[in-house]
Structure 1
Amino acid sequence: MTKANELFDLSGKTALITGGSRGLGLQIAEVLGDNGARLVISSRKETDLQDAKAHLEARGISVDYIVADNRKDDDLVALSDQSIAKLGRVDILVNNAGATWGSPAVDHAMEAWDKLMDLNVRSVFRLSQLIARDSMIPNGNGRILNLASIAGLKGNKGIVAYNTSKAAVVNLTRALAHEWGEHGITVNALAPGMFESKMTAGTLDALGRENVAAQNPLGRIGGSEDLKGAALLYCSDAGSMINGTTLAIDGGLTAI
């Protein structure tokens, strides 16, 4: 009988995590690294990556970083190539890098729309394509974890481009899962609700943290440990038969 700790063990595995220097990406980097994976993290800002690297190494995690702007195709190609070179192969890809934009639909700037579609959708597909083609398919296995959002499961007011981009991630996840399953690759997504992060700080400040928490069935906002269990499940052997799913991590908000 396989023990639970063996199912979740990532010793000998490698992982690339975009947007891995802070927030949800750093939380996922912690849990994958704590369970044995060697990491490459990426983001646009080298100072953030240096801080994250020091933080992760202090936990005993083997980690390197690559500076990349995921809106630029050349950067994505370089990120894929350099990650494979540094790690030998990429067993796990976490597509976390993303952005949001608040605006009434009637006034939404097309430049902002294009920015979100490029970063939240196009880059997720492009990097997945590159890593699958050059590492996962040749090796006959892989785990891809996309970060969607509960905004992609409902029509929240005032963030139409973000809603749309994250809904696209949900269906992209299904499509890639269907196409790449034959290669031993699973593709799944997490759909977080409201978590404390730099991206949500402005919204939480405006709405009030207590007010936001009060609307949640669990009565709280997502914290620094709340994404880890699901991420580890999807990225480990424990989730080897889970493919094409999107799991809401929202305290039950989408259930009401």
Structure 2
Amino acid sequence: MSYFGLEGKVALVTGASSGLGAHFAETLAGQGCVVAIAARRADRLAALAAAIAKKGGTAIPIALDVTDRAAVAEGLARIEEEAGPVEILVNNAGMAGRHPFLTAPEEETAAVVAVNQTAVWDVAQLVAQRLVHHAKAGSIINIASITGLRAVGGAASYAMTKAAVAHLTRLQALELSRHGIRVNAIAPGYFLTELTEDFLQSDAGTALAKRIPMRRIGKAEELDGVLLLLASGRSSFMTGAVIPVDGGHLLSSL
């Protein structure tokens, strides 16, 4: 635990009610962070907070919609009141788009942009503003995707927004460095979560796994090392990096 030096740090994980977000929250809590867990599903958050507490950790459930900027601001004020300013942000909330460009419904595209792009901007901006106000250093970790780093057909709005997250990470890193705030991104490949399970368990998903150089889908715990590295002072000279964790998928042909 002491290697990463995260004991007592205040972290916020968005999209924490399931999947990678819930796993990120448990991982940070296991390293001694006070973890605020944010998502829309209050029942899921309560169950996760109880599970973290059972393991000796501390979690603060915050039921909110990340597309509601005012609600995010209120949530950050509550976290600050209970534990202090958020020092580590895992900007994880995301939504899948399931259509190619030509047939993507307008409503779906707007929703994907709101969650994956606008909310990532808003949450990071609000956290950074509070850190600057308190003259505190911090680490923002955006969750991008390898679909934002290469052209992959079939989920155009999702890939577009994840490409935006990757570039936003670099812009944030450039502007926030002077304030002691580092910004990096993790770009996962294919991991089995609620968001991906339907596809990955289909024939197309099975065929895709065979094209990954490691010939398999990722396990959530295989993101722990890069998460803790970026959250901690062990990466104190890293900012603006977008790190793929994909079993070599970006190296393969389409």
Same fold (TM over 0.5): yes
After the TM superposition, which parts of structure 1 deviate over 4 Å for at least 4 consecutive aligned residues? Answer: none
Residues in 2 aligned to 1:51 and 1:195: alpha-carbon distance in whole angstroms: 22
CA distance in 1 between partners of 2:116 and 2:83 (Å): 25
**Structure-1 residue corresponding to 2:210:** 214
Secondary structure at the aligned position of 1:39 is classed as strand
- Report percent identity of matched pairs: 34
CA-CA distance at 1:86 after TM superposition: 2.1
Task: Work out whether 1:107 is the aligned partner of 2:94.
Answer: no
In 2, Cα distance between the equivalents of 1:58 and 1:138? 32
Q: Does 1:167 align with 2:135?
A: no
How far did residue 113 of structure 1 move?
A: 1.1
Question: Which of 12, 16, 23 is equivalent to 1:20?
Answer: 16
Match for residue 137 of structure 2 among 141, 150, 154: 141
Aligned to 1:48: 44
Output the CA distance in 2 between the equivalents of 1:179 and 1:94: 19
Which deviations, in whole Å up to 9, do the C-alpha atoms of 1:144-182 show, x marking residues without a partner? Answer: 000000010011111110010000000000000000001
Q: Is the 8 A contact 1:173 1:188 kept in 2?
A: yes
- Matched with 2:180 is 184
In the alignment, which of 73, 91, 96 is matched to residue 95 of structure 1?
A: 91
Tell me what 2:61 maps to: 65
Deviation at 1:9, TM superposition (A): 2.0
CA displacement at 1:38 relative to structure 2: 0.7
Residues 180-204 of structure 1, C-alpha deviations (whole Å, 9 max, x = no match): 0011100000000110100001111
2:29 alignment counterpart: 33
| Distance (Å, rounded) in 2 between the aligned partners of 1:141 and 1:175 | 17
In 2: Cα distance, 1:155 partner to 1:58 partner: 43
Contact 1:137 1:183 in 2 (8 A): no
Report how many aligned residue pairs link the two structures.
Answer: 252
Give the drift of 1:121.
0.8
Of residues 50, 74, 80, the one that matches 1:78 is: 74
Determine the C-alpha separation between the residues in 1 that align with 2:86 and 2:191: 28
Deviation for aligned residue 1:44: 0.4
Between the aligned partners of 1:100 and 1:69, the Cα distance in structure 2 is 16
Question: Is the counterpart of residue 153 in structure 1 residue 142 in structure 2?
Answer: no
TM-superposed CA distance for 1:212, in Å, is 3.3
* Cα displacement string for residues 88-143 of structure 1 (whole angstroms, at most 9, x for unaligned residues): 11110110001011112111111111111111011111111111111355233000
Instruction: Give the match for residue 123 of structure 2.
Output: 127
Paired with 1:207 and 1:36, the residues of 2 have a C-alpha distance of 41
Q: In structure 2, what is the Cα distance between the partners aligned to 1:36 and 1:19?
A: 20
Distance 2:12 2:242 in 1: 20
Q: Say whether the 8 Å CA contact 2:60–2:79 is kept in structure 1.
A: no
Tell me which residue corresponds to 1:252: 248
The alignment's C-alpha RMSD in Å is 1.4
Change over 3 Å in CA distance of 1:88–1:185 after alignment to 2: same
Per the normalisation by structure 1, the TM-score is 0.94
- Kept in 1, the 8 Å contact 2:189–2:244? The answer is yes
State the secondary structure of the residue aligned to 2:119. Answer: helix
Find 2:7's aligned residue among 5, 11, 17.
11
5+ residue gaps, structure 2: none
